[in-house]
Amino acid sequence: MHASWTGQAATTLAEAQDPDAAVLDIFLEGAYVWQLARSLVARGVPFIFQTGFRQHIEIPEEFTSVPRLGKPLMHGALKLQLLAIL
């Protein structure tokens, strides 16, 4: 399944479906996605963070090992990261 969702819709989708993996934009609709990330971890769903922030973002320690991709998202980099986590 390929979908692009934001905020609560992403959380609802992730909880209702059984995704193989996810790409999470770190900051959606004015909020960080840490709770959604925790939900995916609890379910064993691998994921990648994506961010357009150029400055330092304080990532919670529990997520420091999660791969991160910058924006603009390069197709080849995404493909390599998805293959690595799957």
Confidence band (pLDDT; 50, 70, 90) for 13? confident
Digit-coded pLDDT (tens) for 37-66:
999 999 999 999 998 876 677 889 999 999
Amino acid letter, 35: Q
Best CA proximity match to 23, nearest among 10, 8, 42, 39:
10
* pTM for the full predicted model: 0.79
Helix (H, G, I), strand (E, B) or coil at 70: strand
E strands, 1-86, are 22-25, 27-28, 31-32, 47-51, 68-70
pLDDT at 2: 43
Report whether pLDDT(22) > 80.
yes
Query: Residue 45 in contact with residue 11, Cβ under 8 Å?
Result: no
